[in-house]
């Protein structure tokens, strides 16, 4: 597509033509938007409408297209034109559906539409068609770190799909924690009895598959590169090192049990008869179906007490604040070890509240009841070791009385601690941002994608199993399969030069104009995905394969030398400035809404679908992320005569929803520069607000615009308007 021709297309369908003078919109696109070609169509997304556009692309040498029709979130497949810079203008959701169909509103509705076309054309003139960077010779191999049930499942599923796999296991054998279990809780009906772990068959399938290369007693010494071209150095137990190229990575390093020695009140370490759940599995395996023996004197256990939430779900320093999920079901399973062998063995499960998540969890609990397992809602006060066994003191919360019971064996449900994070280096990433995955306070890898399981903050690296969150072996197997699919997706995206979610398929990537770069390092510091390193001179080096196209680097750069082919400071700024600003006689406010395309924009579309009225004075500009907003856009809008600015991003706090993780945080940090601009211009600070909008909260999105309109009415029009 040679040349820089701009074509604009105006749809008359979905009631647009009935509410708007589309001929005037087309005229504005030609006269003000400088469109070389401009056409109207009754149903632009129809086969006939799309064919019309494609004919112009072939015949007119058009490289930039403006579609003035429905929301940019609709009809994405119909308006997918490769090699073209596409700009969407929302006339349906953004104009006609949010305005009353009355004669009084007709003029202001038309003005909204005309400004929308101006903004779309201005943005289109400043962009270029994104060209994906397709590289030859990228690796399709997938690295799996960890040989537990999640890692083995991921390796096997990827290999069966035709992708070669390298599996690195730290221990001498495959199996992980699953190999240490006597039985596992059932994953299929009838959910009545513990079942075989299946670990031997799974390990054998992995070891014998021709597509899986297994490194036992090994670790990952170094990872560098990006999806499709990661370079991995594997340190073998023999002292040798193996370097391999991989396309994607699955982290399935598993968990370690919480250190029960940190629970002195429960007697662990003072008596061999106080054990953890994993230690009981060892005793059960040793027994092999025979009576389980007490460690202190090898006598048969006749009374066993299970203490749930040992060191878990606690706000005390050093304890685990979360629930490990599997522990209650595990205690039920282990109580059955005793009851299935001898119904006369007393089994008490002391719990605050019993949690049996997953399919069949409730049925398994009822089966335990039927077998005679006693469940007591209680608060355990302490465990006092005896020469043989231990004394367990607890408060029965149902009977409201203190109770002490002698037990031959006490089992502590101590919970899962992920093998990841700064304290447990696993991947040893050669990234400027650090050697490990960003993680949550509990040590689990952090993910900014609430709706995309297994994702981490490092593109092409996926977490699976108990390292991602606490889970049982059945869940870990499913998680491993899901992570394998994500890894395959990353490999294919890298081959096409396209991004993964949430901007799935985006071929654009940031480009730095190095001659204007001051090497401040802000782009690398603020990138949520570790996509930016620095060269020997301190200049940024962008790894396109790691980039999620959030645009945060664009908003971070104080020199404005970072841009995308289809999004830049100039393209957004041009759109903002293109609005026809009413003069003093008219006295009409103008409000700029910078709406995050991940939260606020869907909410605005929902509001439109529900016909929730919106102020006619608002002009909405979608942005990739609120963290991508350059303060110059806000100051430029104020200087151009806008009376108010609303920045709408994703919720943060206890329910963070930003798919890029840091959008609201960075926007709030940059408000300092915005406030300085307001003060310099002599404008009230309340003319600019930052708000959080969930993608499903239609009412909130529309209300924010109305509230700013009310603020402008109260404080008056901007003096820069005149």
List the CATH code of the domain at 1-129: 3.40.50
- pLDDT reported for residue 585: 59
How confident is the model over 448-502, as pLDDT tens digits?
A: 666 678 999 999 999 999 999 999 999 999 999 999 999 999 999 999 999 988 8
Size of the chain in residues: 722
CA distances, 325 to each of 312, 356, 466, 473, 541 (Å): 10, 8, 10, 11, 42
How confident is the model over 116-129, as pLDDT tens digits?
A: 999 999 999 999 99
- For 143, the 3-state DSSP assignment is strand
How confident is the model over 660-694, as pLDDT tens digits?
A: 988 888 988 888 888 888 888 899 999 999 999 99
How confident is the model over 127-173, as pLDDT tens digits?
A: 999 888 877 789 999 999 999 999 999 999 999 999 999 999 999 99
Cα angle: 220, vertex 447, 511; to 5 degrees: 85
Delimit the CATH 3.40.50 region(s) of the chain. 1-129, 581-722
- Least confident range from 161-170, 298-307, 321-330, 413-422: namely 413-422
Instruction: State the pTM of this model.
Output: 0.91
**Are the CB atoms for 304 and 291 separated by under 8 Å?**
no
Delimit the CATH 3.30.70.20 region(s) of the chain. 512-559
Per cent of the chain over pLDDT 90 is 83
In CATH terms, the fold of domain 512-559 is Alpha-Beta Plaits (3.30.70)
Inform me whether the pLDDT recorded for 701 exceeds 50: yes
**Are the CB atoms for 594 and 646 separated by under 8 Å?**
yes
- pLDDT reported for residue 64: 94
Sign of CA dihedral 434, 437, 440, 443: negative
Question: How buried is residue 47: exposed, middle or buried, by Cβ count under 10 Å (0-12/13-18/19+)?
Answer: exposed
Q: How far apart are CA 195 and CA 329, in angstroms?
A: 13
The fourth-level CATH superfamily of domain 263-416 is: FAD/NAD(P)-binding domain (3.50.50.60)
Domain 142-254+419-496 belongs in CATH node 1.10.3720.10:
no
CA distances, 528 to each of 224, 254, 437, 476 (Å): 17, 24, 11, 27
- pLDDT reported for residue 2: 44
Q: How far apart are CA 8 and CA 121, in angstroms?
A: 8
The DSSP secondary-structure symbol of 444 reads P
List the CATH code of the domain at 581-722: 3.40.50
CA distances, 431 to each of 330, 365, 443, 530 (Å): 39, 47, 19, 7
How confident is the model over 553-571, as pLDDT tens digits?
A: 999 999 999 999 999 999 9
- Least confident range from 55-64, 277-286, 572-581, 625-634: namely 55-64
How confident is the model over 394-436, as pLDDT tens digits?
A: 999 999 999 999 999 999 999 999 998 766 789 999 999 999 9
Delimit the CATH 3.50.50.60 region(s) of the chain. 142-254+419-496, 263-416
């Amino acid at each position: 597509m040679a040349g820089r021709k701009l074509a604009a297309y105006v749809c008359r369908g979905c009631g647009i033509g009935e509410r708007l003078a589309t001929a005037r919109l087309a005229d504005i696109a030609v006269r003000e938007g400088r469109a070389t070609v401009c056409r109207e169509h009754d149903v632009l997304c129809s086969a006939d409408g799309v064919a019309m556009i494609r004919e112009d692309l072939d015949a007119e040498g058009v490289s930039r297209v403006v579609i003035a029709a429905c929301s940019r979130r609709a009809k994405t497949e119909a308006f997918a034109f490769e090699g073209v810079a596409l700009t969407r203008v929302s006339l349906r959701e953004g104009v006609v559906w949010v305005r009353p169909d009355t004669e009084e509103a007709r003029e202001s509705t038309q003005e909204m539409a005309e400004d929308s076309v101006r903004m779309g054309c201005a943005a289109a003139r400043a962009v270029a068609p994104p060209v994906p960077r397709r590289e030859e010779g990228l690796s399709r191999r997938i690295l799996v770190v960890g040989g537990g049930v999640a890692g083995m499942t991921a390796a096997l599923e990827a290999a069966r799909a035709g992708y070669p796999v390298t599996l690195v296991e730290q221990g001498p054998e495959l199996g992980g924690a699953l190999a240490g279990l006597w039985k596992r809780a059932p994953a299929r009906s009838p959910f009545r009895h513990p079942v075989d772990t299946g670990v031997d068959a799974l390990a054998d399938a992995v070891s014998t598959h021709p597509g899986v290369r297994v490194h036992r007693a090994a670790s990952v010494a170094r990872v560098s590169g990006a999806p499709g071209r990661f370079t991995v150095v594997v340190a073998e137990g023999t002292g040798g090192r193996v370097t391999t190229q991989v396309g994607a990575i699955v982290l399935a390093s598993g968990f370690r049990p919480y250190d029960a020695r940190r629970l002195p009140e429960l007697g662990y370490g003072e008596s061999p008869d106080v054990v953890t759940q994993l230690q009981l599995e060892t005793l059960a395996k040793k027994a092999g179906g025979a009576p389980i023996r007490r460690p202190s004197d090898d006598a048969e256990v006749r009374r066993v007490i299970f203490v749930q939430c040992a060191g878990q779900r606690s706000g005390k320093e050093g304890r685990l604040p979360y629930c490990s999920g599997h522990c209650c079901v595990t205690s039920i399973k282990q109580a059955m070890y005793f009851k299935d062998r001898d119904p006369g063995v007393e089994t008490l499960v002391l719990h605050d509240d019993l949690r049996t998540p997953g399919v069949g969890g409730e049925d398994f609990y009822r089966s335990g009841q039927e077998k005679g397992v006693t469940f007591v809602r209680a608060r355990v006060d302490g465990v006092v070791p005896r020469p043989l066994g231990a004394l367990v003191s607890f408060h029965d919360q149902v009977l409201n009385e203190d109770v002490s019971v002698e037990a031959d064996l006490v089992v502590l449900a101590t919970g899962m601690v992920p093998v990841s994070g700064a304290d447990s280096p696993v991947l040893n990433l050669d990234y400027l941002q650090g050697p490990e995955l960003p993680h949550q306070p509990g040590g689990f890898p952090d993910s900014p994608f609430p709706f995309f399981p297994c994702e981490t903050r490092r593109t092409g690296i996926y977490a699976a199993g108990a390292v991602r969150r606490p889970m049982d072996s059945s869940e870990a197997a499913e998680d491993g399969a899901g992570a394998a699919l994500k890894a395959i997706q990353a490999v294919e995206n890298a081959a096409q030069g396209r991004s993964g979610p949430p901007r799935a398929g985006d071929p654009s990537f940031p480009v730095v104009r190095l001659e204007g770069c001051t090497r401040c390092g802000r782009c690398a510091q603020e990138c949520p995905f570790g996509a930016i390193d620095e060269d020997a001179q301190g200049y940024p080096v962008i790894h396109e394969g790691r980039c999620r196209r959030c645009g945060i680097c664009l908003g971070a750069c104080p020199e404005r030398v970072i841009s995308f082919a289809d999004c830049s400071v100039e393209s957004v700024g041009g759109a903002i400035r293109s609005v026809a600003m009413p003069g003093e006689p008219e006295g009409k406010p103008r409000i700029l809404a910078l709406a995050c395309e991940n939260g606020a924009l869907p909410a605005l579309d929902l509001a439109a679908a529900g016909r929730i009225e919106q102020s006619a004075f608002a002009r909405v500009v979608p942005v990739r992320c609120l963290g991508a907003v350059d303060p110059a856009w806000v100051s430029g809008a104020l200087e151009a005569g806008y009376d108010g600015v609303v920045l709408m991003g994703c919720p943060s706090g206890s329910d963070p929803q930003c798919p890029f993780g840091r959008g609201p945080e960075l926007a709030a940090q940059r408000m300092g520069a915005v406030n300085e601009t307001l003060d310099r211009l002599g404008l009230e600070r309340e003319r600019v607000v930052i708000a959080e909008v969930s993608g499903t909260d239609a009412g909130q999105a529309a209300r924010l615009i109305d509230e700013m309109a009310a603020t402008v009415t109260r404080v008056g029009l901007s003096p820069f308007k005149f």
